[in-house]
Amino acid sequence: MRKDNDKRVYLMDDSTDVVYLKNVIDDPEIQVGEHTYYHDFFKDPRDFLKNNILYHFPGFGDQIVIGKYCSIACGTKFLCPIANHSFTSLANYPFPIVPDHWELGEEDLAKVAQWKGPTTVGNDVWFGFESLIMPGVTIGDGAIIGSRSVVTKDVPPYTVVAGSPARVIRKRFDDTTIDQLLALKWWDLPDEQVKEIVPAIMAGDIEAVLERKWLSDAVREVVARIGAQGKE
């Protein structure tokens, strides 16, 4: 993590449109990893919790976990479970929202509540403009969410999805490369080591990453073995 990123709000010195989400969210139920940023050219991006996490009320058990190095485009929104209405109830009206008025007990709430959570986002995920993430989905590492997509179910790692509802368009890489990247977990490396491999990452050269002496023997062995098996 860049040495000033523990408190730094804005990603760039000359722009207030892009923020490090980790440093503008103080809700323990919304967790965001290092280097993940949000860009908003319509509203103040520091208000991500208010404008982009919808139907979030403390005490209802909502949980959204977003990994490291994610790129979140303007207008991306996450729905929390309380946005769901019960499919088993004879009424669409959300009586559990005001249980005291309707004199509902815990057993009544347990029958009608349909919580879908937590929502989990991996690392290095790219969210396109105004994408919408429904409650309870898991989005794998390296995935891409197309602009204005509505994600209603899990997205595999390194997969491109788009549409409403979002459907798989294609994988970003072949299975061998995907397995290597998932084993490498470059996003967990210290910033100083990431700096060294950024050129190789941008060039798509995994072999160059494996040449780094500081890479653990265990990781190097697993990634190399996956690559060898892919060539058989």
**173-185 pLDDT per residue, tens:** 999 999 999 999 9
Residue 10 lies in a domain: no
Residues 194 and 137 in one domain: no
Q: Are residues 98 and 62 in the same domain?
A: yes
- Quick check: is 220 in a domain? yes
At 46, give phi and psi (nearest 5°). Answer: -70, -15
Domain assignment present for residue 156? The answer is: yes
Check whether residue 63 and residue 103 sit in a common domain.
yes
Residues 181 and 165 in one domain: no
Look at residue 117 and tell me if it is in a domain: yes
* Residue 97 structural domain: 18-172
Q: Is residue 51 part of a domain?
A: yes
- Does residue 85 have an active-site annotation? yes
Of the listed ranges 1-15, 32-46, 73-87, the least confidently predicted one is 1-15
Q: Tell whether 9 is covered by a domain.
A: no
CA gap 7, 16 in Å, rounded:
15
109 or 138, which is more confident? 138
Number of structural domains in the chain: 2
The alpha carbons of the chain give a radius of gyration, in whole angstroms, of 20
Instruction: Choose, from 35, 56, 85, 101, the residue flagged as catalytic.
Output: 85
In the chain, pLDDT over 70 holds for what percent of residues? 93
What separation in angstroms does the CA of 216 have from each of 12, 34, 133, 189, 219? 33, 22, 36, 11, 5
12 within some domain = no
224 confidence band (pLDDT: 50, 70, 90): confident
Band of residue 102 on the pLDDT scale cut at 50, 70, 90: very high
Same domain, 42 and 145: yes
66's enclosing H/E stretch is strand 64-66
Q: Cis omega before residue 118 (within 30°)?
A: yes
Residue 166 sits in the same domain as residue 190 = no
- Domain stop point among 130, 157, 172: 172
Residues 94 and 157 in one domain: yes
Q: Which residues contact 13 (CB under 8 A, 6 or more apart)?
A: none
pLDDT value at residue 185 = 96
Domain endpoint, select from 127, 144, 172: 172
Which of residues 111 and 139 earns the better pLDDT score? 139
Is the residue at 13 inside a domain? Answer: no
The reply to whether 166 and 180 lie within a common domain is no
Q: Supply the pTM of this predicted model.
A: 0.92
